[in-house]
Structure 1
C-alpha cells in the first residue's frame, strides 16, 4: 500500500491523502517526500486549491511515526528530521494557492502542525485534536508553534501549546482553529466549504494569497520555524523525552 495518494479532484482541487490508516496516518520519511512532491504539483496553473486529508475515518494524522523516529537519539539526528519537515511546512505555508486541511479524524502532535500550516481547517463531527508534544517532554518541532501564533490570538495559541490537551471539534471551532464541522463525505465537505473560492479565477486566488505570503516573509517565518526545530532538537536529546517515549510505546504495545 502506498503511504500517500495524490489525486486531482473536480473544480481544480489537488488532494494529498496520507495513506497509512494502520499507523493512524503517522508521518514517516516517505510521506514527507510525498507531501513535498504534492506541494510542487499544486503550484501549477490548473490547481486552484490544495487539500490535505488522511485515509479512513479514525485519524487525520497522529504526527511523527515513533517507530520510524524513535531511533533518533541525539540533537543532531533529531534536527535533521525536524528541520526537513519544518522546511516542507514552510513551503506549504507560502504555497501561492489556498490550502485546506480536511480533518477526517483525530489530529495530534505533528498532525496539528500540518493542519496549522494550511489556510483553512474543517473537521469531521466527533473529531478531536491537540498539540500534545509537551506530554512527551518536547515542543512543536516542525514549526507549527510559530505558525499557530500567526493563525490564532496569542492567548489561545499559547494555551493550546502549553496545556498539550486534546480538544473536541466544538472547542476547536470556538478557538478558531477549525472553521467548519462537517458530517458526511470529506471531499464533498471540502468542495462545499471552498465553493465560492473555486468559482474565482486562479490568478485572483494567487494574488490574495500572495498578500499573506509577503506578511509571513516580513515576519521571518522561515527563520522562526527553523529556530523552533532547533529548540525541539535540544529537548529531543534529553533523557526526559526518551523516557516519555518509552513509556508511551510500552503502553501502546500493551494495549495492542
Structure 2
C-alpha cells in the first residue's frame, strides 16, 4: 500500500478519498447505524465480534460514512456508540495494522482517523459511548470522541498504546487531557494501565456506571434522554456552541506527527511480533 504522504500535490479532500478507497478494501466487520426518528436518538454499532470489535480498514471507512450521515440528520438529538456482543472495541485490527506498517502509512491512517474522530466529536448531537467488555487502545480513543461515557461495572478500559511501543494515533491523547486533566492524562497514558469502572469514574473518565447485564442499553438510552428533552434544533445549536469552544486542530497535528514516528519504530515492531495480550 502506497502511503499518501508520498504525494504532496493532493488536497486534504483528495488524500481522504484516496485513503478511503484503499482502506475500504481491507475487510473485516462493519459499523452499523440505526436512527429512531421518534426519539431523535441514533445507535452506532461497532460490529466485528470475532475480533472484539477491532477496527479494520473497512470499519474506519464505514465510520466515516456514518458520521457523514449524522452530520445532516436535522431531527437528531443524540447518538449512542457501542460494540456488538457486549464488548466495546479492542483497538485496531492487527490484520489491518500489519498491512500499513510504514511511517508514511501510519501517518496516513492517523490523518484519516483524526478527520473521522474530530467530526464525531463535533457532531451536532449529544454523543455517549456505552462501554462494555473492553475498550483498549483505539477503542479507548473512540470513547474520548464522545461527549459522555457510561460504563458497565465489569468493563475495563485501557490506553495500552505504550505497551505496544506507539502513541495514541486517533487523537485520543489530546482529547483525554480535556476530559481528565493533564496529571491524570499522563498517568493513564504512560502507565498503560487497564482500569476498572470505578477507577475510571474516580478520574472523571466516565460519567456513569451501570450494573452488568441485559439492561445496559436501556439504561444508557434513559440516561441520554434527560439531555434530549427540548427541540432538536436547540440541542444541535447548544452542541455546536460547545464544540466550537474546544478546537484541537494544531495540537492534533503535533500528536499525529509524534504518532507516525513511533508507528514503524523498533519498539512497535517488537511488540507486534510478541502479539502482546492486554
Q: Same fold (TM over 0.5)?
A: yes
Counterpart-to-counterpart distance in 1, 2:228 and 2:98: 41
Deviation at 1:238, TM superposition (A): 1.0
CA root-mean-square deviation = 1.7
Unaligned regions of 5+ residues in structure 1, if any? none
* Alignment correspondent of 2:210: 182
Aligned partners of 1:56 and 1:104 also within 8 Å: no
Aligned partners of 1:134 and 1:164 also within 8 Å: yes
Aligned partners of 2:165 and 2:267 also within 8 Å: yes
Counterpart-to-counterpart distance in 1, 2:224 and 2:44: 16
Aligned partners of 1:137 and 1:235 also within 8 Å: yes
Select between 82-91 and 71-80 the one with higher mean Cα deviation.
71-80
Select between 15-24 and 240-249 the one with higher mean Cα deviation.
240-249
Is 1:207 aligned to residue 237 of structure 2? yes
* Alignment correspondent of 1:49: 78
Counterpart-to-counterpart distance in 1, 2:29 and 2:244: 36
Aligned partners of 1:182 and 1:189 also within 8 Å: yes
Cα deviations across residues 15-56 of structure 1 (Å, max 9, x unaligned)? 110111111000111111111121122221121102210001
SS at match of 1:147: helix
* Alignment correspondent of 2:166: 138
Counterpart-to-counterpart distance in 2, 1:191 and 1:73: 39
* Alignment correspondent of 1:227: 254
* Alignment correspondent of 2:95: 67
Q: How many residues align?
A: 247
The aligned runs of 1:116-127 (5 Å cut-off) are: 116-127=144-155
Is 1:193 aligned to residue 223 of structure 2? yes
* Alignment correspondent of 1:40: 68
* Alignment correspondent of 2:265: 238
Q: Segments of 4+ in structure 1 off by > 4 A?
A: none
Q: Which has the higher helix share?
A: 1
Unaligned regions of 5+ residues in structure 2, if any? 1-27
Deviation at 1:164, TM superposition (A): 0.6
